[in-house]
Structure formats: C-alpha cells, structure tokens
Amino acid sequence: MKHNILLTGALMAAYDDTTGPLPGMIAGGQSDEYLTDVAVDAMQNDDEFITPTAFPIVQVENEAGKIKVWDRGSLIRPEMRLHSYGDRPVVGGYKTKKASYDTEHYSLQKNIAPSDVAASRRDPMRPMADAATYLAGQARLNLDLRYASTAFHEDAGWAWRYQGVTGNPNRAADTPEFLQLDQPGANPAELIRGRIERFRRFTGKKPNLLQVGVDVYASLVFNEDITDRVKYVQRGVADIDLLASFFDVPRVQIVSGVVNDAEEGQDDNIDYICDPKGMLLMYVAPNPSRETPSAGYTFNWENLYRAFEGDQERILNELALIRRGYNAETGNRWVQVHTAASSNIVAPDLGMWFSDVVSTSQSDW
C-alpha cells in the first residue's frame, strides 16, 4: 500500500513501503526535490503566511543596497507640454529619495540521527519530510515576524495614522480620531471608504490591500451594519471576499499568525505576530519593479541561493531555500533552510495605519 499523504505526482509513483530508491544525497549538502515538494504541500495553503502576499517580491543581486523612496506628488504632477513642430519634448522625471535595504541571511538546521531513520524502516524518508516541514514553518515564522516589525505597527513610518477612540471622536478635517468599530453607532464602511477616497485624492492611487488584525476581523464579522447587508447571501456571513466588496478594496487579508516569544525553558508566552487591534490600508504594486511605487517591497537576495552547490530548490514563494546532506563523522543526516529577504517600506504615503480599531479582544470573549 502506498503512502500518499506527503508524496505527490511522480514522487508518489516512485516510493512505496518496500521498494524505490531514495533521492541522492552528498556529504556537502544538496537541494532535494522530494523535500521541496513536501514543504510546499504543507505550506502552500497556509493563509496565515502574510509576507509573500503583502509587499511584492523583487529579486536583488546584492545582500544590501540602495532603494528609492517615492515622493507623493511627483507621479501625479502633469509634466507634458504643448509640442511645436521641430521642438524637443520637455524632459520629465519624478522625485525620489534614497534609503537602504539589508536582506540578512537567516538559517536553521535540523539533525536526523541514525536511530530516527531506523525507527522509520517502512517509510525511511519520513524523518526527512518531517524536518523539511518543520523548517519551512520556521522560515515562514521568521519572515512574518520581520514583516510585522517593519510595517504592521503605529511607529512603522506610514504617512497617514489614525487613532480609534471609545466615543466622541474629533470630527475636524482629516482628524486622526475615529470611533472604534465595536462601539455603538460605528460605521465601518463609512470609515474605510472615506479613507480610501482621501488616499486616492492625495496620492493618485486607490488602495488595493486592507490588512486587519484578528480582533478587528471578529468585530467586522459581527457588525450589525455588515451582517444586515449580507444576511441574504448564500453563506449569510461576512467572509473576507464579502468584506472586500463591502469596503471596495480588491483584497482583504487577516493577519492571524501566532508566535511563542518565550525563551526555551521558560513558560510559554504565545501571542499574535501582528497587532490584533491594528489595521493597515495600502497600495501595493500589482507588478513588482524597482521603478514602480508601492507601499513596500520585499527584497530577496537571490545570489545567496546561487552560492550553494547542487541544484537550487526554493520554497515559500521562492523566499526560502531548503537543502539536505549527510555528516559522515557522526552518521547524522541534516536538513537546512535558508532565507535572505527584507521587507521595506518604500512609499510611506501609500499606507494608512489605524491603531486601536476595536476595544475588545477576541480571545477574551
């Protein structure tokens, strides 16, 4: 009988309980398609992995370098002039500033002792597969923690910042205050659609991504104004697709991953990676380019992956590399994961941050 939980495609046909060669392995380490397929299968439907779907990914040749930071008004200032026959066109351009990115190389290794392999005689690749899945999860966690520390908090540097209050918000022009969405009389559509129009008016871009913390999402799902509008649809609940339509934003993303930030040996301290009461409205470029403004970009140092010997196999939207090898001195096999990526804000004007969007925590209900 074949095990098809972890194997797909040609790999499923190549392995069974008793026959089939194991993939080649060298002492120096080599990427391995079997492990790559395993890790991708485990992570490709992971909705909590936010980094590759937040900022567009740009491949860079160097570990660190300079990037452009875009000026809000340059791209919507009319530069074209009336052209007379024989004249040269006016030379146009746009204003940018310089900033830096630093991808930073992170890695992690999982050792597999000979006893682990011996204990899995019926499925000798299982320890390797388990290690690959574990390491892929660690890479995902690391990338999301770094994205959150860059973009998803009130001191990230976004040009627009708004603060939720429990009652009587200041309604002066462009007030930084708004009524928290779980307070009586709050109107989420009015708040978000109004901020979208202000965003478009002053930047020329309509935001296309709304990231919400888990407490914000829970409040939106049960908001009376929203539930009243969706009660006649097939599912009768406000899922993310319906919220996107309701707010007129192409994409809504719930940032719901968790992390245990306690040191080993201490009591667990598990919390959300991203502020559960925060909300971020952005314009991110549909087609990544270092010449196209976007709220942010994730720079991926692809030359690091080329430095390793053997074929390169990448996982997690090509943001990580997985390898395996053998230590002849100890008899241990090992699996490694490497990342070299950096999430950077490159257009602060193309992001709106909302603090304390709700007053209550979902986990306290």
For residue 44, name the pLDDT band (cuts at 50, 70, 90): very low
3-state secondary structure of 164: strand
For residue 204, name the pLDDT band (cuts at 50, 70, 90): confident
| Between 233 and 28, residue with greater pLDDT | 233
List for the chain the helix, strand, coil content (%; round to 5): 30, 25, 45
The percentage of residues in the chain with a pLDDT greater than 90, rounded to a whole number, is 34
- Over 50: is that where the pLDDT of 161 sits? yes
- Over 80: is that where the pLDDT of 210 sits? yes
This model's pTM is above 0.85: no
The listed range with the strongest mean pLDDT (41-50, 196-205, 236-245) is: 196-205
Task: Report the pLDDT value the prediction gives residue 353, as an integer from 0 to 100.
Answer: 98
Structure tokens of 141?
A: 């966690």
- Over 50: is that where the pLDDT of 14 sits? no
Q: Could you read off the pLDDT of 89-110 as tens digits, one per residue?
A: 766 555 667 778 889 999 999 9
- Over 50: is that where the pLDDT of 12 sits? no
| Between 305 and 111, residue with greater pLDDT | 111
Task: Report the pLDDT value the prediction gives residue 265, as an integer from 0 to 100.
Answer: 87
Q: Do residues 220 and 232 make contact, with C-beta atoms less than 8 angstroms apart?
A: no
Q: Could you read off the pLDDT of 276-301 as tens digits, one per residue?
A: 999 999 999 998 776 678 899 999 99
The pLDDT of 30-37, averaged and rounded, is: 39
Task: Report the pLDDT value the prediction gives residue 113, as an integer from 0 to 100.
Answer: 79
Distance between CA 311 and CA 306 in Å, rounded? 9
Going by C-beta distance under 8 Å and a sequence separation of 6 or more, which residues neighbour residue 163?
Answer: 176, 177, 178, 354, 355, 356
| Between 72 and 66, residue with greater pLDDT | 66
Give residue 109's Cα distance to chain centre. Answer: 23
Task: Report the pLDDT value the prediction gives residue 5, as an integer from 0 to 100.
Answer: 27
For residue 325, name the pLDDT band (cuts at 50, 70, 90): confident
Task: Report the pLDDT value the prediction gives residue 51, as an integer from 0 to 100.
Answer: 92
Distance between CA 5 and CA 130 in Å, rounded? 12
The pLDDT of 37-56, averaged and rounded, is: 63
Question: How does the average pLDDT of the chain come out, rounded?
Answer: 78
Task: Report the pLDDT value the prediction gives residue 131, as an integer from 0 to 100.
Answer: 86
- Which of 39-48, 55-64, 211-220 is the least confident region? 39-48
Task: Report the pLDDT value the prediction gives residue 310, as an integer from 0 to 100.
Answer: 52
